[in-house]
Amino acid sequence: MRRLENKVAVVTGGGGGIGAATAALFVREGARVVVVGRTEDKLRKTVEAIGSENVSHVVADVSKVEDTERYVGEAVSRHGGIDVLVSNAGYEGPYKAMTEHSVEEFDRVMSTNVRGTWLSIKYAFPAMVKRGGGSVVITSSMAGLVGSPTHSAYTSSKHALIGMARALAHDGAPHNIRVNAVCPGVIDNEMMASVHTRLAPGAEAAFQGAISARVPLKRYGTNEEIARFNLFLASDESSYCTGGVYVADGGVTAGFM
């Protein structure tokens, strides 16, 4: 039997990267999946690439209450409930010294990463309670475990998500709702490609090589590797796991030689 047979999953940030890979894997494992994001074209590409009647999309800004209520409501109306929420939507924000970092930029990062995650869980919880339980997987980051220079807003937001997972694990436990956080390291996807361009324009390949050399496994991770982690936490295989923080960073946070 497939690991998510007859389950309904919502994946935010589903327009590419980890979200799209997670949605594709969940469908292969038997789930009906609703992907959520701000950009219609990206979501359509995800749905088309998966090529299944068991995946659909909703365009929404996860930081807005009305949009969150709408995409949660759409998932329930289309499929009868929600069993799994992967709260993956995120915004990286600028790389700037704090003195040059605007309040507006800080607020935008926190609005998407922290408020958006909290809203997704708040409005999905009642649907999960009606199903007798479920699993919430929050995408944090290795930046939620260590300090990151010139990246104060993003680092702060990802630390906050770990605290959120731990706190909401207690709220969910009486209802058999598990809440866990995954902390990816450097992943070979569009988000990291944009970082390369911003920090090393014209020397992106060399920059990636230098970063890879500092990873104990000497490479970037893949979207699919994180998706498999998400699958474990979404499935009954992790039935005794809640409030956990799971790191997939190639050994970076274990320390450098």
Active-site positions read 154
Q: Are 4 and 29 in contact (CB under 8 A)?
A: yes
Neighbouring residues of 220: CB distance < 8 A, sequence distance ≥ 6:
185, 186, 187, 188, 192, 208, 211, 212, 250
Nearest to 27 by CA among 45, 1, 53: 53
Residue with tokens 């990286």: 92
- Strands of the chain, DSSP E: 8-12, 32-37, 55-59, 84-87, 134-139, 177-184, 245-248
Nearest-angstrom CA–CA distance, 231 and 79: 19
**Residue 97 burial (10 A CB sphere; 0-12, 13-18, 19+):** exposed
